[in-house]
Structure 1
Amino acid sequence: MNYFRIVLLFSVLVSALPTPAQNESCLRRIVPVTVMDSAGRPIFGFAPADFQAKFRGKPVKILSIIPDDRPRRVVILLDTSGSMSGEPRGHKWEIARAIATHLVDAHLANTSLALLFFSDQVHEQIGFSDGTPTLAKRLLDISANPDYVKKNVLGKTALYDAVLAALHLLDAPGFSDSIYLISDGGDNKSRSNQRDVRRALVSSGVRLHASVLGPTDDRVPEDLLGLSDITEMTTATGGVVLGPVGRKRTPAHVMSFDLNQEERQALSIGLQFLEADILSNVRMALELPEAPKKWGEWLLELAREKRKQFKDTSIAYPRELAPCSALPN
């Protein structure tokens, strides 16, 4: 009897161990990487030897770097909660709508677009199959509707739930896919939490990019945390964030969204760089020194000589590595 118990226990332990093939697939990862100058413009032409990386204090091998020229999908996630109306009423929303229109009018090469409107829930969806012209017409119709803000830009903000809804819209997602969030942040309604949403994005490979509008009144706690909260999610997924959009005015705690011509031009340039970053990542193949058993951060940076050559650069890449158990089969 004891013999059979030992054999059974040994069989269970062996079956629980990862196979060599599973271990190898977990050690080898492909991640999206974008190198940018101080203005946010993408920089190209790097080789594996131009980078150095570490995971848990051990060197990470960078095996290859190739351009990512696969077709891309972008879900635009447009916040229509009450805080997005701004003061005077409507100016903040008009900037948000214009940011969405800017991306649509950019006609990004080899890129399909979808659009979700959300407040306390997703209340309107234009899918990839509807086509970009349908999306553009909807935004134009909203711009021409003087009652849209009063009737539709209201309610609380379920930002995390909306990001998950956008993720679910992407069938078989990967890091050629992106979610582009236009919001002032400040989630106050979601059932899901930031950590779980962030890790769902990292596990799927989908990057979160964002244009963040400043808080209408920075005395509102959740609005004040909006920029830092969204920045944390975009950074974790390898995305890029632009913001805060807006201008401080008197009294000091209030933000103005009635931008002058110079400010609008600066915003347009920033949006062009962000849109270029969406298209400009490379595919970096890695070999980790050990298989992650739990979530962990890793460090990627330019090698010393390249840092001297390219000063004031930043690298967008997924900052967390998922454990083997969280990777897609």
Structure 2
Amino acid sequence: MVSCQFMFRLQHFCILFTLVSAIGVHSQQRDCNKQTMIVAVRDKHGQFVPGLQIADFRAKVSGKRVDILSASGVSPGHRVVLVLDVSGSMAWKLRRLQDGLSSALIRFWPEDTQFSLIIFGGRVLERIEFGHSRQEILSAINQFTAIPARSERAVRDSLKDANDLLHPARIGDSVLVATDGMDDDSKVSSKTIERTFNSQGIRFFLLRFIDHYLSTQDTFGQSEMELLSAATGGATIAIDSPNQIEPALKNMADEIAQYYFLQIALPKPLEKEGSFQIEIVNSSSRKRTDVELRFPQKVPACTALNDHP
């Protein structure tokens, strides 16, 4: 027969195991009352504004003031997914972009920046994960030429692939897309990409090559990409001359690398996503008009956060 003492110990162990398991599961859930938002602050000349403190920021979620618990500069070790369009219309631009990236990856990005790569046309053609050197990334970029007689491009689907490369994502991760046209072949929607990126703190940046021969439909589609970039706290830089490529890449590297982490306190977890507003104020608590801010336009719902531990 099993002794009563043994049964007591077994029961005690089962209770302890259940408690430890519950604590482990709970620890994987994010604190939905505290969320971290990325805010980039630029002056009228486009330069990053350093040295801001909690008192310099004023935030609202769905129109209601929220407390800011901390405001800190960036941590080292950025991760950037480069997403390059090699569709037919990119033919002359691609070679110039390849030359510009050869310089930019070495000169403009901090040494601790990590890169991965997606090359796409009508579908993803090449995918290189993090962990490769910059020379390996450049070698993969330089081996591609534009795809002749093919106009379809799947930008949003390539963003989904970029999200997969970033898994598990870190707040501050970035995706940089270089393209000249609209998305006409993707299965995933812009709203899905926006919610996915915002729930993980990923920003989308766009190098938009302006082609004056593209149709008005292309222009409309490109606006969709710009709106998506703004919604995630990213930036868009337009290029309409080959001479602008290298300066644009330099500016983009700075845009990606310079920002603030703001931790905000919500009165209760959000059941659905809420709008996010942020201002910089002066010593008199008046809104400053001499700065430009980039930040995610939505605060994700609690369920969205815990879908991506």
More displaced, 102-111 or 52-61? 102-111
Counting matched residue pairs gives 281
Gaps of 5+ in 1: 1-19, 143-147, 247-256
Partner residue, 1:121: 123
Equivalent AA in structure 2 for residue 175 of structure 1: I
Matched residue, 1:199 = 195
Aligned with residue 87 of structure 2, among 81, 92, 101: 81
Give the TM-score normalised by structure 1: 0.77
What residue identity is the alignment partner of 1:31? M
> How far apart, CA to CA, are the structure 1 residues paired with 2:69 and 2:245?
37
Q: 2:273 aligns with which of 295, 304, 314?
A: 295
1:58 to 64, 83, 100: 64
2:32 maps to which of 26, 51, 73? 26
Aligned to 1:132: 134
In structure 2, what is the Cα distance between the partners aligned to 1:306 and 1:318? 26
RMSD: 2.7
Alignment of 1:160-239 (within 5 A): 160-221=156-217, 223-239=218-234
Looking at structure 2, the residues matched to 63 and 220 of structure 1 have their Cα atoms a distance apart, in angstroms, of 46
In 1, the alpha carbon distance for the partners of 2:219 and 2:225 equals 11
- Contact kept in structure 2, 1:75 and 1:114, CA below 8 Å: yes
Cross-structure match for 1:282: 260
Larger displacement relative to structure 2 (107-116 or 93-102): 93-102
Amino acid at match of 2:209: L
Partner of 1:46: 52
Return closer, same or farther for 1:162/1:53 CA change in 2, 3 Å cut-off.
same
Give the percent of matched residue pairs that are identical in Structure 1 and Structure 2: 25
Q: How far apart are residue 139 of structure 1 and its match?
A: 3.3
C-alpha distance in 2 between matches for 1:166 and 1:155: 21
**Counterparts of 1:276 and 1:307 in 2: how far apart (Å)?**
29
TM-score by length of 2: 0.82
Of residues 313, 318, 323, the one that matches 2:291 is 313
Q: CA offset at residue 216 of structure 1?
A: 4.0
User: SS where residue 137 of structure 1 aligns?
Assistant: helix
Tell me whether 1:104 sits opposite 2:99 in the alignment.
Answer: no
The alpha-carbon distance between structure 1 residues 152 and 165, as it changes in their structure 2 partners (threshold 3 A), is farther
Q: Is the 8 A contact 1:32 1:318 kept in 2?
A: yes
**Contact 2:281–2:288 (Cα < 8 Å) also in 1:** no
Residue ranges of structure 2 left out of the alignment (5+ in a row) = 1-25
Structure-2 separation of matches of 1:185 and 1:29: 35
Distance in structure 1 (CA, Å) of the matches to 2:294 and 2:213: 30
Contact 2:96 2:245 in 1 (8 A): no
Please name the residue that 1:156 is paired with. 152
What SS does the aligned partner of 1:43 have?
coil
CA drift of 1:202 comes to 0.7
- Residues 166, 40 of structure 1: CA spacing in aligned structure 2 closer, same or farther, 3 A cutoff? same
Distance 1:276 1:193, change over 3 A: same
Structure 1 runs of 4+ with >4 Å offset: 20-24, 304-311
How far residue 126 of structure 1 moved from its aligned partner, in angstroms, is 2.4
Aligned 8 A contact 2:68 2:262 in 1:
yes
